[in-house]
Structure 1
Amino acid sequence: MGKISSALVLLMMVMSCMADTEERAQIVALKTILNNLVVKGKDITVQYDLYNVGSKAAQNLQLEEEGFPSDYFELKAGLLRARWASLPAGANVSHSVVLTPLQSVMFNVSQATVRYRASEDSRGFTVGQTSGFGEVVIYDTAAYDRQFSAHATEWLTFGLMSLPSIAIPMALWYKSHRKYAALATRKLD
């Protein structure tokens, strides 16, 4: 659902850029959580895709993420603030961050801020936002394991508990089979 809404936002922004006839840079920014489930204590990857759909190069491009506070997330890899000197027209750049959730809560994933100069001679920054997700459930590790683990200990316990109900009848059958096979060989002699 998040990818569909991100694609719609991207399409609307591209269409609005086509209507704009001014020669300048126009950045479309998407924020995507690459994991299907967000689980406490397990790494998640957040990817930022920045597209320049304008006709000029974007100068001094800055991405600032403040939506993952250190109370809730530990930064494992990447930077929450990234900069690029220039992004040519029609080009794109991706940036990824790896985080580990520290708490099991409903968390509101907000947008990151994008700042850039729309042309070389522009004085001020153009400010935009990435797409957002809204609330994301951070599952507890125990609940995640209960639902998605291989349940190896449960299967081992099941196998050990089932073993007597299979082994005892088989042992009785084998004992009687050997007894009757021995009688059959005696009669043939």
Structure 2
Amino acid sequence: MRKEVHVFVLLALLGLSVAEEGARLLASKSLLNRYAVEGRDLTLQYNIYNVGSSYVAQEGGEVVVGFTSAPGQGGILAQREFDRRFSPHYLDWAAFGVMTLPSIGIPLLLWYSSKRKYDSPKTKKN
């Protein structure tokens, strides 16, 4: 009984594959940009696969239009938010450098003056 069911299913699948001749397209779409930013171009990649047995649906048939699903839900960043997150922040780093100069420079100057005062080279006596 079980073997007969397997044979029946196999014949049914074979019959379906023969009956569905023609082009059958699978299409997918994906976003190639890492971030979607307001006012910037998006790069989409479309993949189209023909899983049918022909390159046309039917000889002399009409054109069929299909749609792909959306690549999913994702946030679109505002240009200002994107710049705030990912810009190099040169002005911020310059301000940081200026503010750290006193805390590094003053101890360095004190150390250097002490070193010069107490570490004078000794003259050799012959």
TM over 0.5: yes
Normalising by the smaller structure, the TM-score range is: 0.7 to 0.9
Aligned identity (percent) is 44
Aligned equivalent of 2:108? 170
TM-score (norm 1): 0.51
Structure 1 residue ranges without an equivalent (≥5): 1-18, 59-117
Shift of 1:136: 3.5
TM-score, normalised on structure 2? 0.73
Aligned equivalents of 1:37, 1:57: Cα separation in 2 = 36
- If each structure's strand is expressed as a fraction of its own residues, which one has the higher value? 1
| Number of residue equivalences | 109
Q: Which among 63, 67, 72 is matched to residue 125 of structure 1?
A: 63
Residue 28 of structure 2 is aligned to residue 35 of structure 1: no
Mapped to 1, the partners of 2:91 and 2:40 lie a distance apart of 22
| RMSD after superposition | 2.1
1:46 maps to which residue? Answer: 44
- Helix, strand or coil: the match of 1:56? coil
Q: CA deviation at 1:20?
A: 4.4
Q: Structure 2: state its 5+ residue gaps.
A: 1-15
Q: Deviations over 1:20-56 (max 9, x none)?
A: 4321101111111111210123322012221111100
Structure of higher CA gyration radius:
2
- Quick check: 1:24 aligned with 2:22? yes
3-state SS, counterpart of residue 115 of structure 2: helix
Q: How does 1:140-151 map to 2 (within 5 A)?
A: 140-151=78-89
Alignment map for 1:111-122 (pairs within 5 Å) = 118-122=57-61
